[in-house]
Chain A
Amino acid sequence: MKVQIEALTRVEGEGSLEVFLRDGKPESLRLSIYEPPRFIEGILKGKPYQVIPDITARICGICPVAYQMSGVQAIEDAFCVKIPEDIEEIRRLMYFGEWVQSHALHVFFLHLPDFFNVPSIIELSKIDKGLVLAGMEIKRAGSLIIQTLGGRTSHPVSVVPGGFSALPESLSELKETLEKALEKALWTVEKLKALNFPDFELKEVLFVSLIEEDYPILKGDIYLEGVRVSPKEFKSVFVEFEVPYSTAKHAMTKDGRVYLVGPIARFNNAFEKLSPLAIETAHKLSLEPMVKNPHKGILVRIVEIVHALERSIRIVKDYKKPQKSKVEVVPKSSTGYGVSEAPRGILWHSYSFDSEGRILSADIVPPTSQNQRAIELSLWELIKDRENLKEDWLRDHAEPVIRSFDPCISCATHFLKVSLKDAKKFTLA
């Protein structure tokens, strides 16, 4: 027998959760993603390298900047292009804009309604309009950064291999908006402090994030349990594989361990590198490494929002338009790797090019693929001892767990369905 939720909601993308029962007891479950694949990697083949930032951005409307940044850095790695500090700083600023926008969307629009037992932000606004408006203001500040640097809030147009196609003369008009948003974010912290969290811990999960001098975002090696792995070595430590019930691939470490990427992993691995106000915020929320309760992702996201805003204000204050908005890129036959911290965790790209810079092969590993196992594991903890599992219960309890991970199914290929199936009919491939 199986129990099924027809459609997962308030997540980005389409998927389902099925729970298989034997004699009324849960035997296994699967988070399946039935979002149709869009074959972006296949489409890239044979195309000139310049199309990478524009095309890969369209994998995800929520984190296009992440795709653009990992993408251009992979190109630059292949063609041995060194990017000047000042251009990297602007890349960081744009990326912070995406963190703020994406985290605010998740915290206020998608996740927060769960804590108030309402179906949507529209209903939430009837209970606490101030909180909703604050969330919108924060999100708008993130969007404004991206729009100023790239023309629009989703799929910005200025990111090119080597830097930016053009850059603004000044960013001073951003300052006030960012400062106000930071104030609002700190104000919401007082409210989020009062939220109640289900008792729940991720066990046996590795936390994986990048390591940079600052709190990781743009680049760096991959860090797990004290070990550093270069972007090039990614595939020798992690494996991505297909599962029969999902159009999104799954990932594990080569030695079969489940790992988690994203805000909680970054927080656990790089807490001390957060901005001063972000650390203060974490203290206020009684948050310190190791955070193991995925529901508390919402708190870590607000900490990261504070961090991103504080850092952005600094970059904006120091901004002087670089002499050149981009450096020269000369293609050659080679392979390159690019990895960065998307709002949802590490996003890895690799490309091989011919001597003219045409793409011979493309390989992209998005954060949600990497987190699927950890989500399944958490769901299993939730249901494993329950008898008499019912669809309503599953929807009320399992959906919030899934949501707390902020899965982006569009990335992994989006929409969750939940079902309980006859164990005998189900075989794990």
Chain B
Amino acid sequence: MRVGVFKFSSCDGCQLAFFELEEELLRLSEKVQIQYFLEASSKNTWDYFDLVFVEGSVSTPEEEERIKKIRESSRFLVAIGACAVSGGIQSARNFEDFSEIYFSVYSGRYEVNPLSKPLSDFVKVDLEIRGCPINKEALREVLIALLQGKSPQLPSYPVCLECKRKGNPCVVVAKGLICLGPITVAGCGALCPTFERGCYGCYGPVEKPNLQALLEGYSRLRVSQDLLKELLRISFNGYNKSIREWL
């Protein structure tokens, strides 16, 4: 199996999950040929891939071209992480005046798109691994399942379920904190509630998030629609297809 790992606009955090596989990575490398992975190897070839992992969002004209080229040369494409799945934290700008943001950092001349977008806005994505960053367990599950020709089992239920399974006291009830757990997909092991804070949404929304119900639930805590919107925009997944319209 020929594998490629690619990077777009991102922080490199998701690629690191490959390095975290450590010895498994060495063992896997006997079964798969890693043909392209710039951060890991100085020998890279790009012709045809059975499987590619793509980190990062599409935010320049060059990236728009490159993701299409990758799609053409790949049989199975996996988007890894909030940047690739939803546009990432850099997509928080999609809800604001781009020129103001742009000039607060640079004085001009780079070719950057006003919007930071998920891969799926440009090409067909075969599978998503969620998280900012993804975790190595999910990556291992996907690699092994695909190697065996099975479909990977990743959670689709919300963080709340993991939280209850762990026996965490609910931070909304116990501390009056806002928590995006009810609409965020599980996989992290309900980390934030375990550390006594609300989930900020880094695994992105569940398939059909009921935002209206969440808002009604939180109105009792005096959380306004505006505040909830603000939190979702900076949830690292604000530009996800299933919530961007609501924002």
Contact = CB atoms under 8 A, between A and B. Distances in A.
A61 B12 contact: yes
B106 A410 contact: no
B173 interface: no
A105 B200 CA distance: 28
Interface in B1-23: 7-16, 19-20, 22-23
Q: How large is the interface on A (under 10, 10 to 19, 20 to 34, 35 or more residues)?
A: 35 or more
A399 B92 CA distance: 35
B11 A36 contact: no
Contacts of B43: 119-120
Contacts of A133: 23
Given A37-B110, A47-B234, A415 B38 contact: yes
A51 B39 contact: no
Contacts of B234: 43, 47, 51, 55
A110 B40 CA distance: 7
Interface in A8-62: 8-14, 35-43, 45, 47, 51, 54-55, 58-62
Interface in A60-74: 60-62, 64
B7 A14 contact: yes
Contacts of A143: 20
Contacts of A229: none
A333 interface: no
> Chain B at the A interface: mostly helix, strand, loop or mixed?
loop
Contacts, number: 171
A12 B12 contact: yes
Nearest to B171: A165
A378 interface: no
Interface in A120-156: 120-122, 125, 132-133, 136, 139-140, 143, 150-155
Contact of B197 (A7, A35, A122, A165): A165
A331 B65 CA distance: 45
B89 A58 contact: yes
A155 B133 contact: yes
B59 A42 contact: no
Contacts of B41: 9-10, 119-120, 122
A59 B170 CA distance: 30
A38 B105 CA distance: 9
Interface residues of B, number: 60
B225 interface: no
Contacts of A177: none
B137 to A, nearest CB: 11
B219 interface: no
B110 A157 contact: no
A139 B96 CA distance: 40
B42 A157 contact: no
Nearest to B22: A136
A38 B132 CA distance: 15
Nearest to A246: B110
B42 A38 contact: no
A113 interface: yes
Contacts of B135: 152
B11 A58 contact: yes
Interface of B: 7-16, 19-20, 22-23, 25-26, 29, 34, 38-44, 59-60, 63, 88-90, 92-93, 96, 100-102, 104-107, 109-110, 112, 116, 132-133, 135, 188, 191-192, 194-197, 200, 202, 230, 234, 236
23 contacts: A8-B38, A9-B41, A14-B38, A36-B9, A36-B59, A39-B104, A39-B105, A41-B105, A43-B89, A51-B234, A58-B89, A58-B132, A59-B11, A60-B13, A61-B12, A136-B23, A139-B19, A151-B188, A155-B202, A158-B197, A165-B192, A166-B194, A410-B12
Given A9-B38, A150-B195, A414-B7, 6 more contacts: A12-B39, A42-B102, A61-B12, A133-B23, A166-B196, A399-B42
In the complex, the 3 A-B pairs of residues with the closest C-beta atoms, listed nearest first: A61-B13, A42-B101, A120-B41
